[in-house]
Chain A
Amino acid sequence: MAYALVALGFVLALNAAGAVNFAHGDLVVLGGALASFVGLSIGLPAVLLLPLVAVAIGVVGIIAARIAILPLASRPPEATFVATIALAAIIEQSLTIAMAGAPRTAPALLGGGSFTIAGFVLGRQPLAIVVLGAVLVAAVWFLLERTQTGRRMRAVAADRYMARAVGIPVGRYVILSLALSGALAGVAGFLLGHQFLVAPTQGAGHMLKAYIAVALGGWGSVPGALLGALGIGLFETFAAARFGDAWASAALYICVLAVLALRPRGLFGEPVGRRA
């Protein structure tokens, strides 16, 4: 479910920016690192920590939009790719310096331990992740589909020039999308940060999984990205349980390559003429 949040944020940024945000994975890591940092040093309760992380990484998303995405809007998508890769490197290196190389753990959302329902043992944290993830996905869906702001965000994503022509301040909505994308990345980082350790070099891995989810689920499609992420999560869990982590990852990459070789436009295709 945490993958779903990563992928959801990724696809929002993708649609708004019109190009892949390679720094997205590092925003996730940044969220985890921030959570562990503040959580451990101040001991803030998770209920307060969560919104704090979301807001902070949302602000980072805004900064990313301001420096690496909006100024390059009129250039080919490769320019944005490179700028966000540079941004990713900046975040990763800053974190490496700040964390002094030692991986950390983010605090749990509902405290540790587990409880039993009808014979199934459930960890509190996994349960918290699923519930929180579902709530956030629903909230984003509501925002995009049921509010004027969301409609405008989708208009900007679908056709930037047309959106500008009907009077939508495109820049502002791109920034808003990136803020939302960042906030989701931060929350995802927080959640993942308790399950796994937080290390600065994980960013590329997170980004790659979100990228794969979006490519498999249909480029730029929000529900597609969610399905893709859930699919990847399940696939990895089961494959890892049977064959080990390394084989699970290898199989995932091979699947992606096979899909791209057979369906050069993605599993479900994409509207013709769409900009990358």
Chain B
Amino acid sequence: MRLSPFWLILLVLPPLLALFVLPPFGQRMVILAGIYGLMGLGYQLVFGQLGALNLAQGALFGLGAYAAALTAPILGPFALPVAILAAAIPAALVAGPLLRLQSHYFALATLALASLVNLSAVHAESLTGGANGLAGFATSLPRGPALLATVWVCLIAGVLLYAWLFEGKLGERARLLREAPLLAATLGIDGAAWRFVAFVVGGALAGLAGACSAALSGVVSPEATGFSIMVLCLTLVVLGGSRHPMGAVVGAALAVGLPELLRDLQGAWLLAYAVATLAVVLWAPEGLAGLIDRLRGARPAPAEPPGLPDVLPAVGGPKTLVLEGVGKRFGGVEALADVSLWLARGEVLGLIGANGSGKSTLLNVINALERADTGLIALDKLRIERLSTPEIARAGIARTFQTLALAGDSKMADLARAVATGAPFLLLDEPAAGAGDHERRELVGIIRRLRDAGRGVLIVDHDIELLSRVCDRLVCLDRGRVIASGRPADVRADPHVRASFLGLDGIAA
């Protein structure tokens, strides 16, 4: 999503016009649009890229505004960095517990936090001037060209940086994190770190915007921390396009421009704005900026269909994956008990067992989607049983899933994604489920190529014929315990295995 010349011109035009053509009143509007744009850009990081409904952005904006109003008489222009910190530091402090919350609790917690800030603004009268707010303070920057330049230079830099950052890989990762957090974790993307950075940087931008708005209006009242600013921020981002680099700018331009266009309608502009937002949510979820791109015919090229090269490059990294005495209980159910196994590079290990024997749990425990209660798991000498899922992914274990996580995804794409991480060890969860004969043959070919490229493959499946063909060894689980392991023919002949998995008469053998 690099910014096209079309957008670049639209982005640079308003401040230039304001500087050289527009009367002071128009200048003021352009500054205000820039301020909203900054706040919205920060919001895009959290809401747009990560899909988290943060309802505290307005409060952070207000914190910035108050901080600037209080410190500007002493610090002058340096009140701006203070205001950024005044928003970013509280954001960083609350981020830890806040960002663990699920979507609706996250929204509630940020809303409660925002209400607290608003309440303090109204009632801490000695500091904030109470309901009347602060007025008549010396502003950090003189209104006019200096403020205009500051706001728009920051905004333009921010938009360009945003467009550059979220083009390509980083944007894809953000999408994965948003739409399939589990999958993202198994590919080594640390969601917690992402959310933290987005939340704090977004807050910092809100603080800067708040400070600039204090400089622009010369008044700060509790309204700056209120829900209506929050709603404005949310709607402008949604209206403009919550992920498009120009989304916040387009939304902000409308938020400032609409009231002027609809001046005859008095207060109705907010109404029109809300109606427009609802319409965009319903019919153009990518926002107006995205809609304009579509009308211009500038759409990103569709991704290449996934596939694997004929010869896979060898990868470096650890040589063995070892499990020793791994156990896992769910309440009273012993899902895994004292499971020990090892897998070397260039080897294919098949995991068999009846439904509920603990096969998927074992895969989940290896890459920490579930925590093992006992035992150790190691890549060479590196103990990994206490690492997080992304850390384990980066240490060299990739996996596929039984059920697909992304819309329009396929089993083959899932496999390709895991292979493409370059991880030396792959955990494949039922790759052949639902596959036809042709696909099964293809799968066998791929697994052999992976072995030839020196990857270690642990594969769970019900297709014992397929496993016998590709696996060097088989391990059979029964109610969480290893009951047999060895060469496929030996394991299939084992009486315990025949009893537990194949049925007493060995129907499938």
Contact = CB atoms under 8 A, between A and B. Distances in A.
Contacts of A96: 267
Interface residues of B, number: 40
Nearest to A80: B281
A260 B110 CA distance: 11
Given A20-B107, A83-B278, A246-B123, A257 B234 contact: no
A242 interface: no
Given A71-B282, A82-B281, A97-B268, A215 B115 contact: no
Contacts of A82: 53, 234-235, 238, 277, 281
A215 B282 CA distance: 28
Interface string A74-118: 011111011101111110011011000000000000000000000
B122 interface: yes
Centre residue among A67, A93, A212 by max chain B CB count within 10 A: A93
Interface string A236-261: 00000000001001100110110011
Contacts of B266: 97
A20 B109 CA distance: 14
Interface in B255-285: 266-268, 270-271, 273-275, 277-278, 281-282, 285
Interface in A172-218: 204, 208, 211-212, 215
Nearest to A266: B105
Contact of A219 (B104, B107, B273): B104
Contacts of B103: 77-78, 276
B105 A67 contact: no
Interface in B107-125: 107-109, 111-113, 115-116, 119-120, 122-123
Contact of A90 (B123, B227, B271): B271
A265 interface: yes
B117 to A, nearest CB: 10
Interface string A40-71: 00000000000000000000000000011001
B104 A20 contact: yes
A158 B271 CA distance: 35
Contacts of B53: 78, 81-82
Given A75-B285, A79-B285, A215 B105 contact: yes
B108 A211 contact: yes
Given A261-B97, A265-B102, A253 B282 contact: no
A264 interface: yes
Nearest to B279: A86
B8 interface: no
Contact of A97 (B101, B271, B278): B271
Task: Select the residue from B104, B119, B282 with max chain A CB neighbours within 10 A.
Answer: B104
Contacts of A211: 108, 111
B77 interface: no
A186 to B, nearest CB: 21
Contacts of A144: none
B100 interface: yes
A253 B105 contact: no
A25 B109 CA distance: 18
B101 A78 contact: no
15 contacts: A20-B107, A68-B281, A81-B53, A82-B238, A86-B275, A90-B271, A97-B266, A204-B227, A208-B111, A208-B112, A219-B104, A250-B116, A250-B119, A257-B116, A276-B102
Interface of A: 19-20, 67-68, 71-72, 75-79, 81-83, 85-90, 93-94, 96-97, 204, 208, 211-212, 215, 219, 246, 249-250, 253-254, 256-257, 260-261, 264-266, 276
Interface of B: 47, 51, 53, 97, 100-105, 107-109, 111-113, 115-116, 119-120, 122-123, 227, 231, 234-235, 238, 266-268, 270-271, 273-275, 277-278, 281-282, 285
Those 8 A-B pairs whose CB atoms lie nearest each other, nearest first: A89-B274, A261-B97, A93-B271, A86-B278, A276-B103, A86-B277, A253-B112, A276-B104
